[in-house]
Structure 1
Amino acid sequence: MHEMSIAAAVVDQVTSAAADRGATAVTTVRLDVGELAGVVPAALDFCFALVCEGTPLEGARLVTRSVPARARCGPCDTEWSPGVPPDLVCPRCGGARAELLTGRELQIRDVEWADGPLHAHS
């Protein structure tokens, strides 16, 4: 289950960011997840809750936003939704030189901190 390694990486990155800003708790983490990323949202939620235990993210909510896949044909510049699994043959010209524009994302979009920095700077 690669959702566990994804959850662990997210928690590591957010924990590091929390330490950098002096925050001790996180309430929400928002992720953009492309429909072609191969992530099962329910499995990611489960793994996220497990990995958060004992960290500044314990009890934090994970909010995922699905990013639809889009492709573009190089020769004729047509854009389309390639589906899952992706069909990268251009529906207009039949060309097979498509570029996948979106759909593989897996990135932290936003984090909500429960508290501010531990030490205010004057």
Structure 2
Amino acid sequence: MSKVLGLTHSGAVRLINTLEKEELVKRRKSVKDARSVVLYVTDKGSQRVKRVLNSRETATSKILNSFNDEQKQSFLSLIELALSSLTSEQIKARKICKLCNEGVCRKRGCPVENAIK
């Protein structure tokens, strides 16, 4: 995670400590590897994600609602092309798109990650 976020190990630990303190995630020991900790998003964390995604959806809808269907598809194709040209490395691909909308992107896969496979 620290590589994806561009944080040091200690910075990632502080971030997780903050998220846990705010009750957005829970830490549990891994059943597969005693040296590892698994993070689980809490109900409160899921609600926060929904609010952030809804805010982003509202902002992007204001832009996209002025396009007709053909323009929207052209715009999407151009954005995917632009994003896919930003890197050829998996770890950097994960840094480019923050807070993906998993319900949308995962159906077809992330255009940035797909471009490097």
Task: Give the number of the structure with larger relative contact order, counting CA–CA contacts within 8 Å between residues 6 or more apart.
Answer: 1
Provide the TM-score with structure 1 as the length reference: 0.24
Normalized per residue, the structure richer in helix is: 2
Provide the TM-score with structure 2 as the length reference: 0.24
Normalized per residue, the structure richer in strand is: 1
